[in-house]
Structure 1
């Protein structure tokens, strides 16, 4: 049991997060409904928060600009191998440049933070299309 605990502190067998979206292409001002899928690791872990940033990448993929951030304070315990869903609702900003016209890409960067251990990360690319 102690070995499992130390392995999860290093990120091996720790809980994971995945942002699940209904599609990958959205319009300016569109309201999207998805969810965070939380999957427990090999031991129980205490969750601290879920952070999700909407990030714009330049056409080279070298420069990032955070457009918006959402934080869900989730002081909870996820049991070993337990699966949970946490609702996610987000409105795409009205003024966001279109993906194709400006040669930019967008992604949601999601991070699950624990009281102890390595953070779980997830990235989901999206496009912003013209109406």
Structure 2
């Protein structure tokens, strides 16, 4: 059933805060909760996506991938530290621009688990 996504493990990106200044890092952790069966984790992919509502476009501005050979047992919970540097060259949130992290938990077999988290990019501190 996990091959169809039923009872599959889930990923949740838990951030220490939902806003970050340009040029700083945002921290948190990936929380991986096991499903009804053991699954082999292949990788965790996390993209920072810029959303321009004015032009109705989405653009991946940066990515991070964690390769893994670990298993998540049934009903188990794992925490993997997360840190992501926010480039000072990005446009701050506002004026039709927003950002989100799109996280994918990819298994050897089964449906990929997805999570999305909005963040607010603040102007660089003076």
TM-score > 0.5, shorter chain as reference: yes
Aligned to 1:20: 14
Which blocks of at least 5 consecutive residues in structure 1 are unaligned?
1-6
Aligned to 1:105: 98
- The separation in 2 between residues aligned to 1:87 and 1:78, in whole angstroms, is 16
Aligned to 1:91: 85
Aligned to 1:4: none
Aligned to 1:35: 29
More helix by share: 1
Question: How many Å apart are 1:62 and its aligned residue?
Answer: 3.3
TM-score, normalized by length of structure 2?
0.94
Aligned to 1:57: 51
61-70 or 75-84, larger mean C-alpha shift: 61-70
- The separation in 2 between residues aligned to 1:36 and 1:117, in whole angstroms, is 19
Secondary structure (helix, strand or coil) at the match of 1:75 reads coil
Q: Contact (CA 8 Å) 2:17, 2:26: kept in 1 or not?
A: no
Runs of 4 or more above 4 Å deviation: none
Matched length: 124
RMSD: 1.2
